[in-house]
A = this chain, B = another copy of it.
């Protein structure tokens, strides 16, 4: 436990961020829970260990992480912002039925976008949505409902 924490402390230091307990725990949760959590979810999970934690701190920390490149935002649905510790370029697929979000590999060369040759592309967000394999064939109905509108 101690050791793993140190990894995140290091990460933060390397990016010039003071590794406060709160920040370490947020970053750690973001890495261990690969489910693209919202700020609320992160708060709910780590708050028990640190009773004085404020939701504002979680937001502050997430902003700091995003600015430093230690995390990225995922805006798949128009509603709440989600966060992802995978900083390399990849796509996000969201199932319309169960709401699950899945990362997928994506290698698109810039040459494909000749229209943007004069632009400086700093970030690429690729969001697909539709049906995941489970929800595609509705034999059983394992829908988590979360993604209903």
Q: Give A contacts to B, CB under 8 Å.
A: 73, 75-78, 81, 91, 93, 96, 104-108, 112-113, 115-116, 118-133, 136
Contact = CB atoms under 8 A, between A and B. Distances in A.
A125 B73 CA distance: 15
A89 B81 CA distance: 23
B91 A119 contact: no
A119 B100 CA distance: 12
Of A73, A112, A122, A125, which is in contact with the most chain B CB atoms at under 10 Å from its CB?
A125
A75 B133 CA distance: 25
A129 B123 contact: yes
Contacts of A113: 91, 104-106, 128
Of A116, A131, A136, which is in contact with the most chain B CB atoms at under 10 Å from its CB?
A116
Contacts of A118: 132-133, 136
9 contacts: A75-B76, A75-B78, A93-B116, A106-B113, A108-B112, A119-B128, A119-B132, A121-B130, A127-B127
A73 B77 CA distance: 10
Q: 9 smallest A-B Cβ distances: which pairs?
A: A122-B130, A118-B133, A120-B131, A125-B127, A104-B115, A120-B130, A121-B130, A123-B129, A78-B81
